[in-house]
Amino acid sequence: MNRPGLAVLGASTFFYVTAETLPVGLLPQIADGLSVDEADVGLLLTSYAVVAAVSTIPLTALTMRVPRHTLIAITMAIFVVSQAAAAFAPTFLVLTLARLVCALAHGVFWSVIGPVTARLAPPGQAGRATALVFVGNSLAIVLGVPLGTALGQWLGWRVAVGAMAAGGAICVLLLVRVLPKLPPLPHDLNVRAGAQLRAAVGIIRDRQVAALCLITTVLVIGHFAAYTYIAPLVRRDAGLEGVALSALLLGYGAVGLITNYVLGRHSDRRPGQIVVGLLIVLAAAAAAFAPVLGVVPTVVAALLWGGAFTAIPVFLASSVLRIAPRARDAASALYVVAFQIGIGGGAFLGERLVRAGHLGTLPLVTAALAVVAVLLVVSVGRRVFPARLSEEDHHRVEAQLAA
């Protein structure tokens, strides 16, 4: 297993996830600094997600012939430029446009990172490798967002965004240095971009991929409807803001990291059952946020919520590689689109409810959609969440891809 390569990929996911969700922790500061409503800042996630969702499939198809190691580095370089522009944005409109540039690269980055991770892993260990890379995702919630929030509260939100640009620049240098050459697979070289685009769109006809995308969309809409506004929620429920909010977000992510560590090693075995268990915990934790119960119940619910949700994307991302082994890039692109639709849809739904004065309704939306996701996962079972490919199946798939 290429651990240095996986570590750098994990670091790259850390900065992408932190930068995308940083407005959640700095929502009041950005609103005050640019003289806009908090609900408007919540729409930063919506606009970002919409552009990423719309652009992912065509841009992934157009870049099929670009060597994978080069493409990852290019997407990180675009990330650096956009974050630097956002840090100096004089108006809310410029900030939004800078983030949208990043959104264009976002979909391609997440579409190829799964297949690249699988190519760096030994046969039958793609799920384990994915879990290692997604430690960066978890650390973004554990350290990135809370530390970024604390830094933004201390020195201003622009400094926090600038730190994302600096970290991304280091990742670009490391990606160029440690990733092995990963040329496009022969199948990708022999197919034109138009055909790749049709294939990427056409794979949604695969019932397993479609079911996984539906589960992802439902779950993520529910999560981000409330998570986007977690700052005003915990301020209402427990009076937590400033340093206390940063500490809570740190605990939220820390429990998620522990859950990832404990369950990630099992991502190649019984993934469906584990996802159901995590969704049930998520539903219960979110529902506990609905009434105003005080500091301790709010903190406990937030920690359980973080532990449950942060681990789920590991199982979703590794499953999409198993159910579409001959079209990993296309299937991953659709999964990214589903996730971004979920983020954008959730943030937009949350914005509508908050603007209408229904902040307390958001956790109930999260809980209800988590229950819907449970029912969907149970209905599809092992067809969508199969165990890992055997070594024999892995070699057969690689031979088919090379043919």
Phi-psi region of 357 (alpha: psi -120 to 50; beta: other; left: phi over 0): left
Q: What is the pLDDT of residue 135?
A: 75
Band the pLDDT of 20: cuts 50, 70, 90: confident
Q: What is the pLDDT of residue 358?
A: 87
Q: Say how far apart CA 382 and CA 253 lie, in whole Å.
A: 29
List Cα–Cα distances, 34 to 89, 243, 253, in angstroms.
Answer: 9, 22, 28
**pLDDT tens-digit map of 111-147:** 888 788 878 877 666 667 777 787 787 778 777 887 8
Q: Say how far apart CA 181 and CA 57 lie, in whole Å.
A: 24
Q: Say how far apart CA 149 and CA 143 lie, in whole Å.
A: 10
Q: Out of 76-80, 228-232, 305-309, which region has the weakest mean confidence (pLDDT)?
A: 228-232
CA-based max dimension of the chain: 61
Sign of CA dihedral 215, 216, 218, 222: positive
Give the 3-state DSSP-derived string for 190-220, with helices as H, strands as E and coil as C.
Answer: CCCHHHHHHHHHHHHHCHHHHHHHHHHHHHH
Of all residues in the chain, what percent carry a pLDDT higher than 90?
26
Q: What is the pLDDT of residue 221?
A: 94
More confident residue, 195 or 352: 352
The pTM of this model reads 0.73
Question: Which domains does the chain carry?
Answer: 3-402 (1.20.1250.20)
**Half-sphere exposure of residue 255, counting CA atoms within 13 Å on the CB side?**
19
Name the H helices within 144-206.
145-155, 157-178, 186-189, 193-202
**pLDDT tens-digit map of 181-206:** 888 765 554 555 556 566 666 666 77
Q: Show the tokens assigned to 211.
A: 């079911």
**pLDDT tens-digit map of 78-106:** 999 999 999 999 999 999 999 999 999 98
Phi-psi region of 231 (alpha: psi -120 to 50; beta: other; left: phi over 0): alpha
Q: Say how far apart CA 79 and CA 165 lie, in whole Å.
A: 7
Average pLDDT, the chain: 82
**pLDDT tens-digit map of 145-170:** 878 888 888 888 999 999 999 999 99
